[in-house]
């Protein structure tokens, strides 16, 4: 970070001061786990102070005093709630998994979106939660047990080479990223080179995830960062090399900005959420459709791995 400051860099995407102020004053959110308890019963027994959000009837803003540790409550330990940022909650709604679906969460640990998708599926269908290391899948198992997820299978595979082909109706790739939209220390640890390096891994993971999708299926790609190298560029690499992949509109209604058009006007279909939109962390979301007439061959990743 020698020549360009974090403030100058982020100002190419949004109003830095507005973004920083909203992030420092961000709210705590949680969702009710209806696998274990319906909302009416939860409302009758909880002592938590909370308010409804206008974007999802199971997502709530915690209105307890600042610094309140929701992770130390009995509601949390019994699996009745999951503390989660509001954009992260909305990602699972974009995936829109159904009880009859076979769904893959490629980088599932610690299980926030995974357990939410299980809830949306009514604990039915098949939900595969994958991650690369035992410590990550251990965290996922803890969430599965606490939230009473029953329709799940846990696997340990490298997300960049899953070696599944046309297996799933819906796939979520919430990719490992620089997390510049979610961390207090973002200005201190930001380096453009880090985004460029992790972008290569993300591109490989997106190719692998797309191959796991059945023809006619949908894939949601998301990150909690701002860098176009980790967002629009990753999606563009797939679209440029795989003609059967197309961006779809995200119809869910919530405040956002459209994706950057640097890679084409179709990227306006993506969504960028900055802290001032939802008083929460920053996020990127893209929804990709796999053509019904996709040939029975694996996608070919460029020899450079999609490096910029």
Q: Do residues 239 and 270 touch, judged by C-beta distance below 8 A?
A: no
Catalytic site includes residue 224: yes
- CA 158, distance to chain mean position in Å, is 18
Catalytic position from the list 14, 19, 177, 224? 224
Structure tokens at 172: 């979520």
Which CA distances in Å does 257 have to 51, 134, 146, 189, 285?
A: 25, 37, 35, 25, 11
Contact assessment for residue 167 and residue 212, using Cβ atoms and an 8 Å cutoff = yes
Is residue 135 classed exposed, middle or buried when 0-12, 13-18 and 19+ CB atoms within 10 A define those classes?
exposed
E strand or H helix at 207: helix 192-211
Residues 6+ apart with CB under 8 A from 137: 109, 129, 131, 154, 156
As a whole number of angstroms, the distance between CA 197 and CA 174 comes to 17
Whole-number Å distance between alpha carbons of 220 and 254: 17
Return the active site residues: 224
């Amino acid at each position: 970070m020698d020549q360009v400051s974090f403030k100058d860099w982020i100002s190419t995407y949004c109003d830095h001061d507005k973004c920083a102020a909203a992030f420092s004053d961000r709210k705590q959110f949680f969702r009710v786990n209806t696998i274990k308890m319906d909302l009416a019963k939860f409302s009758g027994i909880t002592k938590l102070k909370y308010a409804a959000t206008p974007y999802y009837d199971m997502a709530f803003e915690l209105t307890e005093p600042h610094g309140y540790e929701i992770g130390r409550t009995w509601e949390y330990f019994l699996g009745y709630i999951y503390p989660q940022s509001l954009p992260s909650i909305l990602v699972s709604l974009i995936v829109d998994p159904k009880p009859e679906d076979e769904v893959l969460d490629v980088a599932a640990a610690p299980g926030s979106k995974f357990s939410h998708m299980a809830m949306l599926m009514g604990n039915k269908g098949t939900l595969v939660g994958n991650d690369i290391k035992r410590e990550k899948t251990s965290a996922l198992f803890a969430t599965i047990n606490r939230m009473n997820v029953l329709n799940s299978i846990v696997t340990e595979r490298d997300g960049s080479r899953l070696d599944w082909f046309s297996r799933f109706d819906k796939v979520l790739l919430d990719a490992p990223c620089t997390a510049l939209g979610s961390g207090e220390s973002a200005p201190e640890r930001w380096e453009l080179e880090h985004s460029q390096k992790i972008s290569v891994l993300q591109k490989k993971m997106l190719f692998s995830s797309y191959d796991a999708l059945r023809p006619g299926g949908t894939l949601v790609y998301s990150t909690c960062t701002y860098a176009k190298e980790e967002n629009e560029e990753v999606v563009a690499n797939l679209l440029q090399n795989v003609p059967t992949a197309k961006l779809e509109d995200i119809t869910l209604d919530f405040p956002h900005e459209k994706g950057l058009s640097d890679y084409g006007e179709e990227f306006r279909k993506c969504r960028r959420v900055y802290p001032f939109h939802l008083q929460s962390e920053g996020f990127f979301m893209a929804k990709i459709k796999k053509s019904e007439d996709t040939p029975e061959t694996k996608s070919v990743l460029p020899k450079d791995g999609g490096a910029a």
